[in-house]
Amino acid sequence: MATPLSMHVMAAIIWVGGMFLAYWVLRPAMESLDLPTKVRLWVAILERFFSWIWVIVFLQPATGYWMIVHELGGFKNAGTHIIIMQIMGWTMIILFIWVYLVPFGKMKKMIKEELYPEAGMYMLKIRRIVLINLTLGSIVSTLAAVGPFL
């Protein structure tokens, strides 16, 4: 059925595309802002983006496993590219949950207390993880598409 695959691919586009925009477009564009404005703006952006990602981290495995069971006829028929996608997918999901609960939570707390340099430190941590997830997401999506031809 086309619906689970469409939802799966849309989720990948939103997740990977959103991280690309954040890392390669918004980050350099906001470089000249003063620190308090920058960290506040990042929280406003990430709060909205992360709400979408919470939906995606449920949708992506759910549609993925649905396709494995109902379309591929189980794990025995899943190619190596799907096994790799699964491992990398779960790594991305765990990293996202950690970023949301730990550095992002602490960044918001620091901003409330007006400790902007500390908030900036957590922002750097988030940036590093976003780069890792952006790299993994780009590899996974490419591998998913070219995997059947390898």
**Of 14 and 30, CB closest to ligand HEM:** 14
Task: Determine the 3-state secondary structure of 90 from DSSP.
Answer: helix
Q: Is 74 left (phi over 0), alpha (psi -120 to 50) or beta?
A: left
- 90 lies in the site for ligand HEM, by CB under 6 A: yes
Shortest separation between residue 59's beta carbon and ligand HEM, angstroms: 10
- 61 lies in the site for ligand HEM, by CB under 6 A: yes
- 18 lies in the site for ligand HEM, by CB under 6 A: no
* Residue 139, H or E segment: helix 116-146
- 74 lies in the site for ligand HEM, by CB under 6 A: no
Shortest separation between residue 25's beta carbon and ligand HEM, angstroms: 19
Do 43 and 36 form a contact (C-beta atoms < 8 A)? no
Shortest separation between residue 133's beta carbon and ligand HEM, angstroms: 9
Do 143 and 86 form a contact (C-beta atoms < 8 A)? no
- 67 lies in the site for ligand HEM, by CB under 6 A: yes
What sign does the dihedral 79-83-86-91 (CA atoms) show? Answer: negative
Compute the distance between CA of residue 97 and CA of residue 104 in angstroms, rounded to an integer: 10
Residue nearest to ligand HEM (CB): 64
Question: Which residues form the interface with ligand HEM (CB under 6 A)?
Answer: 8-9, 12, 15-16, 60-61, 64-65, 67-68, 82, 85-86, 89-90, 92, 137, 140-141, 144-145, 148
